[in-house]
Structure 1
Amino acid sequence: MGSGESPTLKTQDAHPSILVIGKWIRHFEQWIHEQPKEQLYTAIAVVVATFLIVVIYRILNRSRCNTVVLSGLSGGGKTILFYQLRDGTPHQGTVTSMEPNIGSFVLHSELEKKGKIKPIHLVDVPGHSRLRPMLDDFLPKAAGIIFVVDALDFLPNCRAAAEYLYDILTKSSVVRKKVPVLILCNKTDKVTAHSKEFIRKQLEKEIDKLRTSRTAVSSADVTNEYTLGVPSEVFTFSQCHNKVVVAESSGLTGEVSQVEQFIREHVKP
């Protein structure tokens, strides 16, 4: 290096992209100095407001994704399951709810775990036919749906359960978001309870009949927003747009491990 040369990088030796970026920065600085202060303050306010809206939207979305909805016919044991998941006890035993049970809590089985655990937002929707429309208030926010079936008294209620399940599986809020559904066969601690495989097959048969009869109804009937299954094929839950699985539980004895597994699969701790 000669005695008169500078040790720093010469401008003409810089990378072309660096020169371009520097040029844009200078233009931007010049543009800022040329703008009226009021206009700059307005632009900054718009940027800040937009940022806050995006942050709030993401926070709300995160809060929604921990909602799990308990649904099913009356008498299936939804409320007892709600208490078991929250407190680890069945409380009063058989309970018929006329209003939703709603709570945000860490699963009882996870209370002793170390570290931060994300609570779930559990909604137990009454199964009475007159109260089912309130289900529509919660489905758009659901990360998962647990459809409770009485495995002990299943056959007399099979048709009604299939109709209710059909309505849920054809809701636009469920299909579009591909909300996972757990068909939970409850009261399996009883000797005379039906197996989950038997219940699954019977529900599939009933839904297959329903989709045939409802497809034949006039197009003026808009009760169901989507159709189920593949045309000309026997219906199975594997054909649904969203994931549908079947599991067993016993609310009275506290055997709810498969329920908790489903919840934590879709509401990460």
Structure 2
Amino acid sequence: MEHLLQRVEQWMHDVEQWVRQQPVEQLYAALAVLLLTIALLLLGRLFKRTKSNTIVLAGLSGSGKTVLFYQLRDGSFHHGTVTSMEPNDDCFILHSESEKKNKIKPVRIVDVPGHPRLRTKLDDFLPQAAGIVFVVDALDFLPSCRAIAEYLYDILTKADVVKKKIPVLILCNKADKVTAHSKEFIKKQLEKEIDKLRTSRTGLSTADITNEYTLGEQGETFSFVQCHNKVSVADASGLMGETSQLEQFIREHVKL
């Protein structure tokens, strides 16, 4: 033990001598690098601890966002649900995971009204969003295809969505209905409509463009794989309580 202490003392002495021989500027630089490294490590740990647990539901009025919100929270679609005029905002354990309460991280779900005058409320929640679920009425899709594509285009080109690469799930609701369109059909039609929108909006003056980003590759037909963030498509049925693909998306982006 005594021999070990002597070696430690000798090592400390050698270090002290080495430090005395170094230029002061070099020591300051080394100290600055050390402090910066520690600060970055602390910030990294803080970021991991405060990772967002917010999932935003967006889409046109009548697409079924509020029904899905209640299914996720209560396991019921609440008879008499009406179009929301204010965001439904709550933090809870998903109903399907209620038996695992102590092991599961709560999720904050925000249901943003789909009325055109109220969509700006979406911007209030994007800075905290871990994911966006864009709900589409698969039953009444074609008559609203243009309006759906315009709203989706606006979301995909928002600065927060692009910079943070917020993942987007296009959720085709009411998929249980016999006459509902398939998610593959809806995906292709939306890509076609957004391709048209790209052409028309590129011709607008800079003053007319709200968002600062564009979609897709110039000179190529648009597809969702060209987006800055990941865009996926899934099915659901709010009324029937079929939300498994939606819950899978939530758990992929809100870690336990």
Normalised by the size of structure 1, how large is the TM-score? 0.80
Larger mean CA deviation between 246-255 and 210-219 belongs to 210-219
Aligned match of 1:184 = 171
How is 1:104-119 mapped onto 2 (pairs within 5 angstroms)? Answer: 104-113=91-100, 115-119=102-106
Cα distance in 2 for partners of 1:244, 1:134 equals: 22
Larger mean CA deviation between 88-97 and 72-81 belongs to 88-97
Cα distance in 2 for partners of 1:219, 1:89 equals: 46
Deviation at 1:116, TM superposition (A): 2.1
> Secondary structure, in 3 states, of the residue corresponding to 1:182?
strand
How is 1:1-269 mapped onto 2 (pairs within 5 angstroms)? Answer: 8=3, 18-21=12-15, 58=46, 62-63=49-50, 65-113=52-100, 115-269=102-256
Cα distance in 2 for partners of 1:9, 1:267 equals: 50
Would the alpha carbon gap of residues 250 and 20 (structure 1) be closer, same or farther in structure 2, given more than 3 Å must change? farther
Cα distance in 2 for partners of 1:189, 1:93 equals: 20
Greater helix share, structure number:
2
Alpha-carbon displacement from aligned partner over 1:162-213 (angstroms, at most 9, x marks no partner): 0000000000100000000000000001000000000000000000000111
Would the alpha carbon gap of residues 23 and 112 (structure 1) be closer, same or farther in structure 2, given more than 3 Å must change? farther
Cα distance in 1 for partners of 2:97, 2:196 equals: 42
Cα distance in 2 for partners of 1:263, 1:187 equals: 19
Q: Is the 8 A contact 2:91 2:106 kept in 1?
A: yes
- Alignment size in residue pairs: 236
Cα distance in 1 for partners of 2:80, 2:15 equals: 71
Unaligned 5+ segments in structure 2 are 20-38
Cα distance in 2 for partners of 1:15, 1:155 equals: 81
Would the alpha carbon gap of residues 175 and 16 (structure 1) be closer, same or farther in structure 2, given more than 3 Å must change? farther
Aligned match of 1:45 = none
Q: Is the 8 A contact 1:77 1:94 kept in 2?
A: no
Cα distance in 1 for partners of 2:219, 2:149 equals: 20
Alpha-carbon displacement from aligned partner over 1:233-269 (angstroms, at most 9, x marks no partner): 0000000010000000000000000000000000012
Alpha-carbon displacement from aligned partner over 1:116-159 (angstroms, at most 9, x marks no partner): 21000100000000000010000111000000000000000000
Task: Return the letter of the residue paired with 2:75.
Answer: G
Normalised by the size of structure 2, how large is the TM-score? 0.84
Task: Return the letter of the residue paired with 2:12.
Answer: I
Runs of 4+ more than 4 Å apart: 13-17, 20-25, 61-64
Unaligned 5+ segments in structure 1 are 1-5, 26-50
Percent same amino acid among aligned pairs? 69
Deviation at 1:16, TM superposition (A): 6.9
Deviation at 1:14, TM superposition (A): 5.2
Task: Return the letter of the residue paired with 2:187.
Answer: R
Cα distance in 2 for partners of 1:175, 1:81 equals: 26
Deviation at 1:102, TM superposition (A): 0.5
